[in-house]
C-alpha cells in the first residue's frame, strides 16, 4: 500500500461523488434534492469539453426532462432532431423517432454546455460542487468504503468521510482502481476506431435529421448540434497502428471520402477545430457496487459509441442509484442491499443493448442478412420503427432477431442474393452461433449477479491510493 498525503482537514457528508459530469451530476442533484448532504469533486474546471460524441436519443432527452434541466439544455440551441435516417447497401431508411415520455426528438449538445447545465442543477439542488480537485485515495474502515482524500488547486489535502462514495469518473476511474473493480468481468473489443470533428453547417443543410451511412466496412454520421455546427464522426475498421502526428486527421479525411453521401452532406460546410479520436475501444461491464461504493456511468459500464447510449445510461442509472439509496444511507446493511439491487438492475436492463452494440461495432462490411434488413425496412414502416426504437430503448433487439423474423430475413436473402449463396449461408450460420453465444453469456456472465472480485480487506481505517496493492 502506498502512503497517502495527511489531510489538513477532515469533513463529513452523506455522499461524496467523484466526477461532476453526466452520471455524477444526475446522482448528486437527485440525492441533494432528497435532502442529503452531497459533495461532488471533479479534477477538471467546469464547464469544459471532454471526449464524447454526445448524441441523445429521445430516451436520453427524456432523462433531461425527468431531472428538470431540459429547458436549460434546449436553450443551448441544438436543433430538435425529428427524423432518423440510415443508409446502407443502396437502401435508405427514414423514420420519425418513437416518443419517450412525450419526447419524440433527439438532441446533439456539445458537452461543455450540457455538463455546465447539469453541474449548475446539482448546485441548485443543494449539492456542493468542487472543481479542480483531484482524488488521491479512497478511505476504508475495515472492508467498507468510508470516504476519499483529495488535493485541491492550492495543494491542500482534505479528507471527506461519507456513507457512500460514488465513482462517476469515467473509463479510467480512480475509484474503480482503488476498490479493486477496474478489471471488467466481461469485455468485448470493438472492431472500429472512432474519429470525429465539428463543421460549420451550411445554410440549406437538413438540420432536423440525424443521419448514418454505411459503405463497405466504414460507418459515418452527421448530427446537427448547437451553435450552427454539425458533428460528423466516422468509424472505420480498427487498426493497431500507432496514431502519430496528423494520423487522426488523415484517417478521418480518408474515411469521409470513402462515404460519398457523407462527403456530400458536408459539402459547403467549413470544419471547425481539430479531428478527435477514440481508438482501442472496448465495451465492458465492471463490478459496480460494494460496501459503501458504486460506479455509475462509464466507470462501471461502457458501450461502443456506435449506438450512442452512454449519456442516456449515465443520466438514467445515476438518477436511479440516487433514488435507490437516498432513504437508506444511514443503515449500512440496507444500503448494501440497495446498491446490489441497483447494480443487478443495470446489468439486466443493459445486457441486450450491449450485445446489439457489439454486433454493430464489428467493423465489417454489411453482411447478407444486414443488407436484407435494410432492404425490407426501406419499404416496411413497422420494421423501420423497430430499428429506430432500439436506439431509444423503446423496442428490444430481440424484436428484430426473433426466430420468425430471422427466418423471413434468411428466406428473403436467399431469394434476392442468389449470386452470393455461400455468403448468405455462412452468414445464417454465423448469426445462429452468435445468438447461442449471446444467450450463453446472458445466462452466465450477465445473469444479473455479476461475478464478484474479492474486495479490499483492511483491519484499520486506511486509505488506498489508485494502483496501490491492497492489504488482503
Running DSSP on this structure, what letter comes out for residue 307? G
pLDDT over threshold 60, residue 289: yes
User: How does pLDDT run across 422-434, given as a tens digit for each residue?
Assistant: 999 999 999 899 9
CA distances from 246 to 63, 158, 258 (A): 38, 41, 19
pLDDT the model gives residue 466: 54
Confidence band (pLDDT; 50, 70, 90) for 46? confident
Confidence band (pLDDT; 50, 70, 90) for 400? confident
Confidence band (pLDDT; 50, 70, 90) for 471? very low
> Up-side HSE of residue 83: CA atoms within 13 Å toward CB?
11
CA distance 329 to 183: 27
CA distances from 237 to 50, 278, 395, 451 (A): 23, 12, 28, 31
Torsion 415-416-418-423 (CA) sign:
negative
Dihedral Cα 253, 255, 257, 261, nearest 10 deg: -120
CA angle 257, 263, 267 (to 5 degrees): 135
Q: Which helix (H) or strand (E) holds 269?
A: none
Q: In this structure, are residues 249 and 273 in contact, taking their beta carbons and an 8 Å threshold?
A: no
What stretches of 328-420 show up as alpha helix (H) in DSSP? Answer: 332-360, 368-377, 381-391, 403-416
Q: Parallel, antiparallel, or unpaired: how do β-strands 282-285 and 301-302 relate?
A: antiparallel
Class of domain 9-78+109-186+287-357: alpha beta
User: How does pLDDT run across 93-119, given as a tens digit for each residue?
Assistant: 999 999 999 999 999 999 999 999 999
Confidence band (pLDDT; 50, 70, 90) for 1? very low
Chain mean pLDDT for the chain:
92
Grid coordinates standing for 281? 475501444
Mean pLDDT of 120-133: 97
Q: Parallel, antiparallel, or unpaired: how do β-strands 194-200 and 144-151 relate?
A: unpaired
Confidence band (pLDDT; 50, 70, 90) for 465? low
CA distance 121 to 20: 11
| pTM check: above 0.85 | yes
Running DSSP on this structure, what letter comes out for residue 443? H
pLDDT over threshold 60, residue 472: no
How many other C-beta atoms can be found within 10 angstroms of the C-beta atom of residue 266?
21
pLDDT over threshold 80, residue 296: yes
pLDDT the model gives residue 3: 58
pLDDT the model gives residue 7: 81
Residues 6+ apart with CB under 8 A from 466: 136, 137, 174, 177, 178
pLDDT over threshold 70, residue 454: no
Percent of the chain with pLDDT over 70: 94
Of 294-303, 342-351, 461-470, the least confident: 461-470
- For cell 433487439, the residue is 397
Torsion 194-197-69-295 (CA) sign:
positive
Q: In this structure, are residues 299 and 286 in contact, taking their beta carbons and an 8 Å threshold?
A: yes
Q: Parallel, antiparallel, or unpaired: how do β-strands 289-290 and 229-234 relate?
A: unpaired
Asked if the peptide bond before residue 47 counts as cis, ω within 30 degrees of 0, the response is yes
CA angle 361, 280, 353 (to 5 degrees): 30
pLDDT the model gives residue 457: 47
User: How does pLDDT run across 245-278, given as a tens digit for each residue?
Assistant: 899 999 999 999 999 999 999 999 999 999 999 9
pLDDT the model gives residue 470: 29
Percent of the chain with pLDDT over 90: 86
pLDDT the model gives residue 145: 97
pLDDT over threshold 80, residue 458: no
Mean pLDDT of 441-461: 65
CA distance 115 to 357: 25
Mean pLDDT of 435-446: 94
Mean pLDDT of 205-212: 97
Domain boundaries, the chain: 9-78+109-186+287-357, 194-278, 363-443
Instruction: Enter the CATH code of domain 194-278.
Output: 3.30.70
pLDDT over threshold 70, residue 460: no
Domains 9-78+109-186+287-357 and 194-278 share a fold: no
Amino acid at each position: 500500500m502506498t502512503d497517502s498525503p495527511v489531510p489538513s482537514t477532515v469533513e463529513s457528508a452523506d455522499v461524496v461523488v467523484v466526477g461532476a459530469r453526466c452520471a455524477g451530476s444526475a446522482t448528486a442533484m437527485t440525492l441533494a434534492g432528497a435532502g442529503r448532504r452531497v459533495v461532488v469533486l471533479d479534477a477538471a474546471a467546469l464547464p469544459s469539453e471532454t471526449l464524447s460524441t454526445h448524441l441523445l436519443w429521445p430516451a436520453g432527452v427524456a432523462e433531461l426532462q425527468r431531472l428538470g434541466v431540459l429547458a436549460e439544455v434546449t436553450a443551448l440551441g441544438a436543433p430538435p432532431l425529428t427524423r432518423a435516417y440510415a443508409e446502407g447497401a443502396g437502401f435508405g431508411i427514414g423514420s420519425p423517432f418513437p416518443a419517450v415520455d412525450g419526447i419524440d426528438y433527439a438532441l446533439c449538445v456539445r458537452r461543455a454546455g450540457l455538463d455546465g447545465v447539469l453541474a449548475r442543477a446539482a448546485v441548485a439542488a443543494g449539492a456542493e460542487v468542487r472543481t479542480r480537485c483531484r482524488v488521491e485515495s479512497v478511505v476504508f474502515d475495515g472492508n467498507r468504503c468510508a470516504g476519499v482524500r483529495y488535493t485541491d488547486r492550492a495543494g491542500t489535502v482534505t479528507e471527506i468521510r461519507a456513507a457512500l462514495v460514488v465513482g462517476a469518473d469515467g473509463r479510467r476511474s480512480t475509484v474503480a482502481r482503488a476498490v479493486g473493480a477496474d478489471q471488467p468481468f466481461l469485455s468485448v473489443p470493438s472492431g472500429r476506431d472512432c474519429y470525429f470533428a465539428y463543421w460549420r453547417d451550411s445554410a440549406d443543410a437538413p438540420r432536423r435529421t440525424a443521419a448514418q451511412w454505411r459503405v463497405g466496412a466504414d460507418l459515418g454520421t452527421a448530427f446537427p448540434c448547437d451553435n450552427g455546427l454539425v458533428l460528423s464522426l466516422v468509424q472505420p475498421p480498427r487498426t493497431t497502428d500507432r496514431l502519430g502526428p496528423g494520423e487522426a486527421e488523415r484517417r478521418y479525411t480518408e474515411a469521409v471520402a470513402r462515404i460519398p453521401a457523407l462527403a456530400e452532406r458536408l459539402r459547403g460546410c467549413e470544419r471547425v477545430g481539430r479531428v478527435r479520436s477514440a481508438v482501442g475501444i472496448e465495451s465492458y461491464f465492471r463490478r459496480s457496487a460494494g460496501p459503501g461504493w458504486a460506479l455509475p456511468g462509464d466507470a462501471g459500464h461502457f458501450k461502443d459509441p456506435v449506438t450512442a447510449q452512454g449519456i442516456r445510461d449515465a443520466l438514467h442509472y445515476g438518477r436511479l442509484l440516487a433514488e435507490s439509496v437516498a432513504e437508506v444511507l444511514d443503515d449500512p446493511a440496507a444500503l448494501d442491499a440497495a446498491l446490489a439491487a441497483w447494480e443487478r438492475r443495470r446489468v439486466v436492463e443493459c445486457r441486450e443493448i450491449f450485445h446489439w452494440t457489439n454486433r454493430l461495432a464489428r467493423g465489417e462490411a454489411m453482411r447478407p442478412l444486414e443488407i436484407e434488413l435494410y432492404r425490407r425496412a426501406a419499404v416496411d414502416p413497422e420494421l423501420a420503427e423497430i430499428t429506430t426504437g432500439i436506439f431509444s430503448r423503446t423496442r428490444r433487439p430481440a424484436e428484430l432477431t426473433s426466430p420468425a423474423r430471422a427466418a423471413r430475413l434468411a428466406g428473403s436473402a436467399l431469394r434476392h442474393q442468389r449470386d452470393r449463396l455461400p455468403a448468405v449461408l455462412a452468414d445464417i450460420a454465423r448469426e445462429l452461433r452468435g445468438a447461442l453465444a449471446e444467450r450463453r453469456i446472458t445466462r452466465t456472465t450477465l445473469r444479473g449477479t455479476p461475478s464478484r472480485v474479492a474486495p479490499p480487506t483492511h483491519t484499520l481505517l486506511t486509505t488506498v491510493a489508485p494502483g496501490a496493492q491492497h492489504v488482503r
